[in-house]
Amino acid sequence: MLYKKLSVKLKLLFFLIPFFFIHIHAQNYIFGKIISEDNAEIPDVTVINIRTDERAVTNRDGHFMVSGRAGDELRFVKAGYERIVRKVSKENIESPLNITLARATILIPEVEIKQGLTGDLKIDTKNLNRPKKVDKLIKDIDKYIDQKSDPRILAARPGEFVQPKGQGFSIGKVKNKWDDIDLISYLHTALSDEYFINLKIEKPQIEHFIAYVLAGGFERQKILKYGFCSDADLNRFQRFVLTRISSYRAPKTQR
């Protein structure tokens, strides 16, 4: 009789184990929508689960889906908007998580007008015209900038940045307002150190990584020509980064 009871308990245990295993390892997903302060859907927002480092990007309607669980922290990142972190609650697992992003504040430097027009041509000409020494200095600087640099000056020293092997990238045509160095500097500033650190790119390697992404075929002809990088270009660059980050982290022999 004791043997039969033990046998029944063992069978029941083996029957319940798979269901317990499935419950423990079930994957929860967090759904939500991101809007602006004026209730407009925001596409191309990067959503990062800080615990798992999993990333998702909102679609054109501002919707996103990322795996996670209660207690996780989600970071929401988009150029031109304030970055926020939201802790996931149990309610967020069962119902959509709605997020509102505020536009980043841009400080416009104050312009001081020392002296206005008097109406007297001689006085106004004297006040508004630059001194001859200033004109000469500006012309000398322009002349110096137009001179071609000695290649030995631009050559990399031991341990410094060396352009990745491959098709390479263009420095820009003569008539372009920007070259790739200008674009790399702008992308670094616009996206900030934090964006690249979140991608696990160390701070000293940020510009090296940006150059690697550009070398992978990122289209930038119009950006260099007009010297202007729009929000759409920033979003396009962020999407392109996701296609290059894995190969950048891989050993050099695998690139």
Sign of CA dihedral 14, 15, 17, 18: positive
pLDDT the model gives residue 26: 52
Q: Encode pLDDT of 185-230 as tens digits.
A: 999 999 999 999 999 999 999 999 999 999 989 999 999 999 999 9
DSSP string, 52-68: TTEEEE--TTSEEEEE-
Domains of the chain: 29-101 (2.60.40.1120), 171-254 (no CATH)
To which H or E segment does residue 97 belong?
strand 97-101
What distances in angstroms separate CA 21 from CA 26, 196, 213, one per listed residue? 8, 37, 42
Do the beta carbons of residue 206 and residue 196 sit within 8 Å? yes
pLDDT the model gives residue 19: 45
Tokens 């900030």 belong to 192
Residues of the chain with pLDDT under 70: 1-27, 106-131, 133-134, 144-174, 251-255
Q: Encode pLDDT of 101-128 as tens digits.
A: 999 876 555 655 555 666 665 566 666 6
> Partners of 85 in the beta sheet?
75
Q: Taking Cα atoms as reference points, which of 105, 101, 89, 28 lies closest to residue 58?
A: 101
> Residue 138, exposed/middle/buried by CB under 10 A (0-12, 13-18, 19+)?
exposed
